[in-house]
Amino acid sequence: MEVIPLPRRKKGWRTWQKVSLIVTLVLGFIVVGGLLFLNSWINRSLPQVEGEVAINGLHASVEVIRDANGVPHIKAENEWDLYRAQGFIQAQDRLFQMDMARRQASGQLSEVVGSATVTQDKYFRALGLRRAAQKSYEAYSQESKEILQAYADGVNAYITQAEENNRLPVEFTLMGNSPEPWTPLDSLTIGKYMAFDLGGHWERQAFHYYLLQTLPKEKALELFSTYPEQAPTIIQEAEIDVASLLQQAVIPHSYNGSNNWVVSGEKTASGKPLLADDPHLGLATPSIWYEMHLSSPEQNVSGVIFAGVPGIILGHNDSIAWGVTNTGPDVQQLYIEKRHPDQPNEFLFEGEYEEAAVIEEPIKVKGEGTVAYEVMETRHGPIISQFAEASGEEAVLSLRWTALDATAELEAIIEMNKATNWNQFERALEKFEVPAQNFVFASQDGTIAYKANGKIPIYSNGDDALLPLEGWKAENEWDGYIPWDELPRVVNPDKGYIATANNKVVGEDYPYHISNNWAQPYRYKRIAQVLEQGDDFTAAEMKNLQMDQHNLQGEEFVPIFLEHVDQGALSDEEQKAIAILKEWNYVDAVDGAAPLIFHTWMQTFSKQLYEEDIPEEMIKLFNGRAQTTDELIRQAHRGEEVIWIEEQGGLRQALTIALEETVAMLSEQYGSDATKWKWGDYHQVSFEHPLSSVSYLERFFNPKDPIPVGGSKVTVMAAAYEEDTGIVDHGASWRFVADTADLTQASHTVSPGQAGHFRSEWYHNQRDQWVTGEYHQTKVKQYEGSVLMLQPKE
């Protein structure tokens, strides 16, 4: 057999092979080295949680123990060191969030973002939250100013150390900026922003005004938040194009609300009161809340606070526990101001023109210099329509709002933290003026109590709060505020519990107007239903109630829908959807098809009701749209004439068309077999980081896919969502349950986690727990974890 020799490789080929190997190895080392360097650089900004750190200004050593859930337990020998340490620790975990929060509230985002946020900055400059914070600071006691400064010193100590050691959060590098020093004014401005977020109802006043401008009067009045006894008329002397002036306004989310309740010891297994609270705010990364435990000789308090603010705003101490929901009173009033024909800075009042304050608010824009901008404030407040281009030559809109006054909420918080009984706690509430909140209270002495607390203006007629008022008439001025000792209040009621869920809190016999806008009643009704039926409640049952997904809206409206829909005109697919609804147990379960059908049917019905007459830019001002739609359906079901529904061919035709569209849409998205549809295929939560919208950053800041979740905006387990995507973006931002029989601990969920750093083990560790209803116990005695000692700097 002949052997054929292999061709000999040329010498040059071998040389090239060696060179290629060497180049590959070198490139590999460079890539690996680069990744290791990048990893090391990113990890450098993780908070130091063990060892020692020297801080300027400390009087004595401060112990910081972070437990298994990343909750810092700060123990100091005096209050000033306590708040200085609190500022340092918050900044370790949340500095970027704190910086963005103060910038947003102050109208300074454009300095780091660029021209994209100039309009938003103009709005917040016009609104003047930072100016209001400055007024408030002047009203604080010297002791409170020292607390604010101690907190700011702690934040600045961290900023200085992070800059010196190249340990600033990576977001600052990505944004190309460094944080400015923290000031007491920054903390107060964030507090004012939270009052803005919980807001009032000026947008509904503007919406009512728009309706009267554009629609027949009776049709317009059907969408008023309450049907006025004396139907108002459009103001003829000075009309304003509301749609043009306010289309760029920043509107808080309409679902900002909450649940809370307290149960008397007569109805609990421990014989002591139980308290539960879950504020409903935006769901994002990091959480709006930061959980902490603060201990000094003067106090031992645990709970949550907004990043950027000292103290504990919600939680418990050794003797008491408390929680809040939004009262939602009419604390914002729009005024139509008549401008002098020749003097643009003067406005009419009682026959004479008054000069408005003109305030220079130059806006720095990243990469583009500075935009000259000025705002005006009349006797009522800032002109909020001025930031729009078509700002009105003869008339503008100004805003009177309690939060723009000097208020001292921080002093209230500090006193609340130290209170040991209801009398002390209620006295502290006298200083908590904005935002108006429903406080519930429980103590070890057996007391349960409630107060709708805050600065609430007196209207001579509740109908006055439905529309913008003529700013040139003295009769339209607020007539003072509801006296603090006459605010709605309940202590130890016979029924053994108190609950609120942004529902109407007063009866018709209450002498003052509170609000024309209340949340849909379903969450409150479900809470009351459960608490009425049971005794010997435990903390575990309170957690179950916070996770309750029973849909009382569906229970009310599905029978109405089935009664009126034209079932004889439905296709086989639509009949299947009806059959699923007939078998529904009215639980918004993640795996159920019925919740998806019902909520989509309701959304589709609502959309077709309004889309022809109300443009998209005005729909965002339709605060309380869901409540209004519910009431229109009830009225039509009772046989009353409802113009909006009659124009759709009546309830029967409108519901039938909406169902047809619902089934067609769901079939296209989820397949033709309705029995396989799932609420969780649409309804999902992701806790998005603000920088995750940048595609290459998404996998870092939001590393996991959205999670299917049950509940909805009408269930006790609050999970409101964007209708076009189904993404849950508002709900229980913190869940809290305390049994006053043992206040050495309490149950919490702070989602998605404590940390702001995406490499931290506490970044998204509570994300799944939010969905499944798992809680962690935070102890205020005998807790363990990593120990960091903050030492005075020599």
DSSP 18-36: HHHHHHHHHHHHHHHHHHH
Q: What is the mean pLDDT of residues 350-375?
A: 96
Band the pLDDT of 259: cuts 50, 70, 90.
Answer: very high
- What percent of the chain has a predicted confidence (pLDDT) above 90? 83
DSSP 272-338: S-EEEEEEEEE-BSS-SEEEEEEEETTEEEEEEEETT--S-SEEE-SSEEEEEEE-----EEEEEEE
Work out whether the CA dihedral 510, 516, 519, 522 comes out positive or negative: positive
The helix or strand, by DSSP H or E, that contains position 788, with its residue range, turns out to be strand 786-792
Q: Of 76, 83, 58, 101, which Cα lies nearest the Cα of 190?
A: 101
More confident position, 227 or 109: 109
Distances in Å between the alpha carbon of 27 and those of 18, 19, 444, 614, 792? Answer: 14, 12, 67, 61, 47
Angle between helical axes of 184-198 and 142-164 (0-180°, round to 10): 100
Residue 330 annotated as binding? yes
Residues designated catalytic: 258
pLDDT of residue 497: 98
Which domains are assigned to the chain? 552-586+593-677 (1.10.1400.10)
Q: What are phi and psi of 712, to 5 degrees?
A: -165, -170
Q: What pLDDT, in 10s, does the model give residues 111-162? A: 999 999 999 999 999 999 999 999 999 999 999 999 999 999 999 999 999 9
Q: What is the mean pLDDT of residues 773-782?
A: 97
Give the range among 180-189, 470-479, 688-697 with minimum mean pLDDT: 688-697
Band the pLDDT of 697: cuts 50, 70, 90.
Answer: confident
Q: Of 104, 133, 102, 106, which Cα lies nearest the Cα of 405?
A: 133
Band the pLDDT of 390: cuts 50, 70, 90.
Answer: very low
Q: Of 159, 201, 783, which Cα lies nearest the Cα of 516?
A: 201
pLDDT of residue 391: 44
Q: What pLDDT, in 10s, does the model give residues 534-554? A: 899 999 999 999 999 999 999
Band the pLDDT of 235: cuts 50, 70, 90.
Answer: low
Report whether pLDDT(236) > 70.
no
Give the range among 324-338, 388-402, 410-424, 743-757 with minimum mean pLDDT: 388-402
Q: Of 219, 322, 239, 290, which Cα lies nearest the Cα of 66?
A: 290
- What percent of the chain has a predicted confidence (pLDDT) above 70? 90
Report whether pLDDT(441) > 60.
yes
Report the alpha-carbon distance of residue 544 to residue 717 in Å, rounded: 9
The helix or strand, by DSSP H or E, that contains position 577, with its residue range, turns out to be helix 572-582
Q: What is the mean pLDDT of residues 472-487?
A: 96
Report the alpha-carbon distance of residue 485 to residue 429 in Å, rounded: 11
Q: What pLDDT, in 10s, does the model give residues 27-73? A: 555 544 544 445 666 888 899 999 999 999 999 999 999 999 999 99
Please provide the size of the chain in residues: 794
Report whether pLDDT(23) > 70.
no
Q: Of 381, 358, 313, 355, which Cα lies nearest the Cα of 135?
A: 381
Report whether pLDDT(251) > 80.
no
Q: What is the mean pLDDT of residues 244-271?
A: 83
Band the pLDDT of 388: cuts 50, 70, 90.
Answer: very low
pLDDT of residue 482: 98
Q: What's the per-residue H, E or C state across 358-380?
A: EEECCEEECCCEEECCEEEECCC
Bond prior to 252 in cis (omega within 30° of 0): no
Distances in Å between the alpha carbon of 466 and those of 221, 436, 449, 482, 512? Answer: 11, 19, 31, 19, 15
pLDDT of residue 31: 47
User: Residue 442, CB half-sphere, CA atoms under 13 Å: how many?
Assistant: 32
Q: What is the mean pLDDT of residues 389-416?
A: 87
Q: What is the mean pLDDT of residues 86-103?
A: 98
Report whether pLDDT(2) > 70.
no
Give the range among 243-247, 269-273, 641-645, 766-770 with minimum mean pLDDT: 243-247
Report the alpha-carbon distance of residue 520 to residue 706 in Å, rounded: 27
Report whether pLDDT(20) > 70.
no
- Residue whose entry in the numeric block shows the structure tokens 């969408």: 223
Q: What is the mean pLDDT of residues 704-711?
A: 96
